[in-house]
Amino acid sequence: MISIKFLGTGTVMGVPIWNCECDVCKSTDKKDKRYRSSLLVKINEKNIIIDFGQDFRNQLIENNIKKIDYAFLTHAHRDHYGGVENLATAENVIFMAPKDVLEEFNELQGSSKEWLTTRNKTITVKEFSPFSIDDISIETVKLEHKKDWGADVPCYGYIFSSNNFKFAYMSDFNKILEIEKLQNCDLIISDGNGLNNKGHGHVGIHGSIEIFKILKPKKMILTHLTHKMLHKDVSNYVKKYGNIDIAYDGMELKL
């Protein structure tokens, strides 16, 4: 049994953005309230969290999450790792990311970089390599998440597959560097950061629609949304292109 729940579906600023008076930030629709992007993947009794940004504490409490078995990091941007301290009270958690992501993360931690391993014996930090939980195999897909002005960080998505289904989670990227790994997906969760976000390290909604046309997954869901469009408007907009949905905080799916 595998299920997913979106714990957060917003960009770095979240939605509403503090001090913004736009229609989306002032919307009373619950689907227009977005924490920083994070996904809970449940495989039988195991809980995997992908990314733990600045809203992570609220996400854990409000979703009544009592244990985390694995915490995967996609890349070392604060909206994805800024709540890492909350892993300290997980009973036993394996924190995993590819080698280059961990290196970047450690560098940003500065003098606190020993914090995870020395003070918190219940956290195991491991370089990610493909492994399985029950009959589900988990691997990464390398992405490019590079801004035109040069800022570039190692970044990955995660792919979960069994005999029955395959899905991928990729929240921040402007290019997929291992696209061959994404053939025959039932579900692709992709970058929805703005309508056209060329140059800012994100493919955005139109870029993801192009990927949908090329890879033809059965379904696509977009996450990492900005405050530029109301959930109901952007949902109607993407539906014109096929089985594409816009994620919202709390959205759950059984796969």
**Residue 40: CB minimum distance to Zn ion, A:** 17
Structure tokens at 206: 């139109």
Q: Which of 32, 51, 104, 172: binder of Zn ion (CB under 5 A)? A: 172
Q: Which of 31, 34, 42, 77: binder of Zn ion (CB under 5 A)? A: 77
**Residue 20: CB minimum distance to Zn ion, A:** 3
- 22 lies in the binding site for Zn ion (CB under 5 A): yes
**Residue 204: CB minimum distance to Zn ion, A:** 12
Which is nearer to Zn ion, 78 or 239 (by Cβ)? 78
- 151 lies in the binding site for Zn ion (CB under 5 A): no
Number of residues that bind Zn ion (CB under 5 A): 8
Which is nearer to Zn ion, 25 or 230 (by Cβ)? 25
- 51 lies in the binding site for Zn ion (CB under 5 A): no
Stretch of 97-105, 121-129, 168-176, 233-241 lying at the interface with Zn ion (CB under 5 A)? 168-176
DSSP per-residue string spanning the chain: -EEEEEEE-B-TT-BSPTT--SHHHH---GGG-BPBPEEEEEETTEEEEE---TTHHHHHHHTT----SEEE-S-S-HHHHTTGGGGGGSSSEEEEE-HHHHHHHHHHHGGGTTIIIII-TTEEEEE---EEETTEEEEEEEEEEEBTTS-EEEEEEEEEE-SS-EEEE--S-SEETTGGGGTT-SEEEEE-SSSS-TTBT--HHHHHHHHHHHH--SEEEEESB-SSS-HHHHHHHHHTTSSEEE--TT-EEE-
**Residue 80: CB minimum distance to Zn ion, A:** 6
Stretch of 55-63, 69-77, 207-215, 243-251 lying at the interface with Zn ion (CB under 5 A)? 69-77
Scan residues 25-44 and list those touching Zn ion (CB under 5 A). Answer: 25
Q: Interface with Zn ion by CB under 5 A: which residues?
A: 17, 20, 22, 25, 77, 79, 172, 227
